Amino acid sequence: MSDLSDRQWAILRAIARSLRERGYPPSVREIGKAVGLSSTSSVHFELNRLVQKGVLEKDPERPRALRLSAEGMRLLGPEGREAHGDVRYLPLVGRVTAGRPITAVENIEGYLPFPAARTPDDAFLLRVEGDSMILAGIYDGDLVIVEKTPHANPGDIVVAMTEDGEATVKRFYPDPARGVVRLAAENPNYPPMELATATVLGRVVGLLRFYDR
């Protein structure tokens, strides 16, 4: 959502800055001082508008406190995600087929929180479709945590872009002697893909599974 006024942008950034530097949101008076509003009722009005627009939400752990929503973090980019200190919000950027490659959808569908100490700085989430990686413990519908990097070691599980522009999750085996890259499934029903070129988009470093889906 991009229909925020200049003042609403300023309020959003003031909240993100306070969360990043102090670990908690600013008071209504502090927000007013930061954006040039002397009336607390005017600040409350703008805060309510930001909630209605979906960029702020109530914090269930702090009565009467507000926090950035996933949409607010998306709009602010790194500035918004850094506001959560020891929590890193990873973007869910699309779906990747583990059996038959499909083009990954690069628009961000949302964010999920992870411990910052356990996740790479430049990580993202992709949803897997298909059963070609089941022997590696990756099932249809799983979310894989991907460290964005163009480099991988032989045998790493990667998200790779094929020469046809399709993205897939496979084990990575470069074969420079033959001039090919082999992308191998973890399911005997799927033969390996041998390609002249394949671009590594990232290395799979973790997995998230919901049992009630």
Q: Is 102 found in the same domain as 65?
A: no
Q: Is 170 a catalytic residue?
A: yes
Same domain? 195 vs 99: yes
The stretch 183-210 carries a mean pLDDT of: 94
Q: Tell me the pLDDT band of 1, cut-offs 50, 70 and 90.
A: very low
- 71-89 pLDDT, tens digit each: 888 788 777 766 665 667 7
What pTM was estimated for this model as a whole?
0.63
The tally of domains found in the chain comes to 2
Tell me whether residue 42 is one of the annotated catalytic residues: no
Residue 91, pLDDT above cutoff 90: no
Pair of tokens at residue 124: 């993202």
Range of the domain at 59: 6-84
- Pick from 183, 187, 196, 188: which is nearest to 157 by CA? 183
Q: Which of 61, 84, 107 is the last residue of a domain?
A: 84
Residue 2 has what pLDDT? 58
Find the distance separating the first CA and the last CA of the chain, reported in whole Å.
Answer: 28
Confidence grade of residue 208 (pLDDT, cut at 50, 70, 90): very high
Domain boundary among 84, 114, 139: 84
User: Per the residue annotation, which of 2, 33, 69, 132 is the catalytic one?
Assistant: 132
**Whether 203 contacts 149, CB under 8 Å:** yes
Is residue 141 located within the same domain as residue 204?
yes
Q: What pLDDT, on the 0 to 100 scale, is given for residue 213?
A: 56
- When the pLDDT of each residue in the chain is averaged and rounded to a whole number, the result is 84
**Quick check: is 162 in a domain?**
yes
Mean pLDDT, rounded, for 18-22: 80
Q: 28: domain CATH number? A: 1.10.10.10
